[in-house]
């Protein structure tokens, strides 16, 4: 007897079996087939994802002044943007931006009064004055040379005292890295992913998701104009930093 899959309730919530059969060597892309299963994929691939989203909403809500704009950059299905908006209330507009038309198409099929979705490259989009910017697992997908320029533009856009919440999958130095990789694979197995799924996804992401160390993130954030750079979440490789825009403009 085959298991009957439940009908997905929202766009992007179909079960993730993309890597369950051999797929060749193509690189990972945020295309239609990924967008269709993204919620299941991210929840089963990022340990503590639900806690991250809850924490982003609670922390972000503390830094938003009435009427201030908040950004969710690389919003995928808009989960963080909607959580932030639900926490802050309708007087705080949230702009949720992603370069994948397939992700944004899913977001706009479930309209939300205080979240505006936009399909754009966050390296090119002009940022308005903001109180809160969320980069939840997005910076790691930009070419390394584009990371500091984006963080500088975010610091410029944030009001002094405004907050950037930056979540990344970080790289440890060995032997911690090898141990974390093993434990991460245990986590994925426990989420029901097979050895084939784990190894094919890892290969597909190799050239696309380029990790930095925690120290490199801190140095870059300081160079971009942030201080009080504090880790508030850590689970295996996944770290989230709360970084506050310095009062004085960066030199």
- Minimum gap (Å) between residue 150 Cβ and ligand GEK: 8
Alpha carbons within 13 angstroms on the beta-carbon side of residue 127 total: 28
Among 85, 136, 200, 240, contact with ligand GEK (rule: CB under 6 A): 136
- Minimum gap (Å) between residue 101 Cβ and ligand GEK: 9
**Stretch of 8-16, 19-27, 92-100, 192-200 lying at the interface with ligand GEK (CB under 6 A):** 92-100
145-184 positions binding ligand GEK, by CB under 6 A: none
> Rounded to an integer, what distance in angstroms lies between the CA atom of residue 70 and that of residue 62?
12
CA 33 to chain centre: 18
- Binding status of residue 233 toward ligand GEK by CB under 6 A: no
- Binding status of residue 142 toward ligand GEK by CB under 6 A: yes
Exposed (0-12), middle (13-18) or buried (19+): which is 223, by Cβ within 10 Å?
Answer: middle
Among 85, 99, 200, 240, contact with ligand GEK (rule: CB under 6 A): 99
**C-beta of 3 vs 83, nearer to ligand GEK:** 83
Asked if 230 and 242 count as a contact pair (C-beta separation under 8 A), the reply is: yes
**C-beta of 99 vs 200, nearer to ligand GEK:** 99
- Binding status of residue 121 toward ligand GEK by CB under 6 A: yes
Spell out, one character per residue from 60 to 89, where the chain touches ligand GEK: x when CB under 6 A holds, - when not.
Answer: --------------xxx--xx---------
- Binding status of residue 94 toward ligand GEK by CB under 6 A: no
> Rounded to an integer, what distance in angstroms lies between the CA atom of residue 238 and that of residue 235?
5
3-state SS assignment for residue 32: helix
> Rounded to an integer, what distance in angstroms lies between the CA atom of residue 189 and that of residue 142?
28
List the alpha helices (DSSP H) in the chain: 32-45, 49-63, 79-88, 101-108, 147-157, 176-190, 195-205, 214-224
Report how many residues bind ligand GEK under the rule CB under 6 A. Answer: 20
Among 69, 85, 100, 200, contact with ligand GEK (rule: CB under 6 A): 100
Helical packing angle, 49-63 and 32-45, nearest 10°: 90
- Return residues touching ligand GEK (CB under 6 A): 30, 42, 74-76, 79-80, 97-100, 103, 121-123, 136-138, 141-142
């Amino acid at each position: 007897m085959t298991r009957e899959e439940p009908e997905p309730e929202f766009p992007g919530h179909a079960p993730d079996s993309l890597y369950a059969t051999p797929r060749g060597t193509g690189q990972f892309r945020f295309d239609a087939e990924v967008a269709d299963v993204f919620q299941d994929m991210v929840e089963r691939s990022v340990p503590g994802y639900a806690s991250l989203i809850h924490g982003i909403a609670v922390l972000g809500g503390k830094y938003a002044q009435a009427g201030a704009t908040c950004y969710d950059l690389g919003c995928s299905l808009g989960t963080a943007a909607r959580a932030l908006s639900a926490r802050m209330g309708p007087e705080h507009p949230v702009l949720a931006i992603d370069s994948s038309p397939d992700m944004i198409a899913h977001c706009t099929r479930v309209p939300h009064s205080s979240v505006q979705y936009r399909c754009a490259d966050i390296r090119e989009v002009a940022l308005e004055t903001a109180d809160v910017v969320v980069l939840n697992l997005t910076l790691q997908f930009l070419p390394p040379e584009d990371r500091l320029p984006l963080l500088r533009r975010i610091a410029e856009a944030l009001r002094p005292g405004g907050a950037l919440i930056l979540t990344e999958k970080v790289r440890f130095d060995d032997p911690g890295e090898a141990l974390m990789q093993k434990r991460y694979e245990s986590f994925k197995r426990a989420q029901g992913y097979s050895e084939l799924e784990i190894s094919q996804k890892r290969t597909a992401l190799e050239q696309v998701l380029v990790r930095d160390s925690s120290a490199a993130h801190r140095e870059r954030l300081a160079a971009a104009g942030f201080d009080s750079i504090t880790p508030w979440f850590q689970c295996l490789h996944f770290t989230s930093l709360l970084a506050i825009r310095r009062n004085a403009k960066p030199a």
